[in-house]
Amino acid sequence: MSAVNGQVSKMDRAGHLRTNQTTLDQMWQRAKILHVADARLAVEAGGTKLRFLSASQVQSLIESGEYKLGEKYFLGLDEIDQEPYFAWNSSSVAPQGEKAPDGYLTLREIGGLISEFEMEISLHAVALANWHKSHTHCARCGAATSVAQGGAIRTCDKDQSEHYPRTDCAVIVLVRDKDDRILLGHQPVWPEGRFSCFAGFLEPGETFEQCVQREVLEESGVLVREIDYLGSQPWPFPASIMISFDAVTDAPEIARPDGQEITEVKWFSRAEVKAQSDAGTLLLPPTMSVARKMIDRWFASGAEGQGGAKLIGGETWR
């Protein structure tokens, strides 16, 4: 079966260009610029496409006093036409209320609607924005840090030490039994009927396979074997990458929730997933998530998924 998320990047990150500030400044003037504002992305009307700004439009927003000066992050070059892309991370100067400003939506809201290319750009931009926001000071001496190398690093203003973006590794697992049913769990913060795969963060000194076994055992009480890698997905909420696996258990009958992170577990056949998601009694993970891609892949590999049959599910996160 095919991997969950094995598409080749359509963006050349062009790391060799990041160290030349003159080159970065020249590319900025002709770049497509994605505005990241207060954890939201600029979108076209309807929210199905990103809205890119020009350098002159960014300057006009700054001069108008509507947005702060912000920071510029080089995202790379389009593999096809070598067009440069940047992210401009700048907050509004107005107090943030409950209502989002017109033309800006979160990545969670648009992730299932935009193209794969725009999703790749968005994941990169949001991940950088999140990291820069939380690393404004040096971990060594406490002095302020500044953006360097087009946003790829921050440097300490005092001791000149370099600080690189961090990514937290997490595994996510689709557990199956000998009858090819899947085991899904419910978290207490989710709406009633929402079920998904088991997941957790990698601990120091732990392999991915060991993490898979530990997390599944902790959350569902079952031991797994035949652990196979499926794919990965950046998950900047705030700074993770999800490493997805498929695994098999020989004792499905002992599955039990841990009562804290997972409050309910259920086994599902393909027919049950299809019927319950169609009826709205089972809410699947949103389509932008690797969890949903894993479930869709499993469903498509069986007879119920032949002929173009698709699963539907809730797109809301909470």
Rounded Cα distance, 82 and 95, in Å: 38
Whole-angstrom CA distances from 20 to 75, 82, 129, 163 are 14, 17, 21, 18
Average pLDDT over residues 225-233: 96
On whether the CB atoms of residues 316 and 228 are closer than 8 A, the answer is no
Domain boundaries, the chain: 11-92+99-134, 136-165, 168-304
Rounded average pLDDT over 52-81: 95
What's the CATH code, domain 168-304?
Answer: 3.90.79.10
CB neighbour class for 6 (10 Å; exposed up to 12, middle 13-18, buried from 19): exposed
The answer to whether residue 308 scores a pLDDT higher than 90 is: no
Position 1 confidence tier, pLDDT thresholds 50, 70, 90:
very low
What pLDDT does 201 receive?
Answer: 98
CA dist list (Å): 15 to 32, 85, 152, 194: 18, 13, 9, 41
Q: Which pLDDT score is estimated for 219? A: 97
Q: What is the mean pLDDT of residues 135-156?
A: 97
Band of the pLDDT at 315, cuts 50, 70, 90?
Answer: low
User: Which pLDDT score is estimated for 38?
Assistant: 86
Give yes or no for a contact between 128 and 134, defined as CB atoms under 8 angstroms apart. Answer: no
Average pLDDT, the chain: 93
What is d(CA 85, CA 51) in angstroms, rounded to the nearest whole number? 12
Tell me if 11-92+99-134 shares its fold with 168-304: yes
**Residue with token string 């993970």:** 285
Answer yes or no: CATH 3.90.79 is held by domain 11-92+99-134. yes
Question: Is 70 exceeded by the pLDDT of residue 198?
Answer: yes
**pLDDT exceeds cutoff 70 at 5:** no
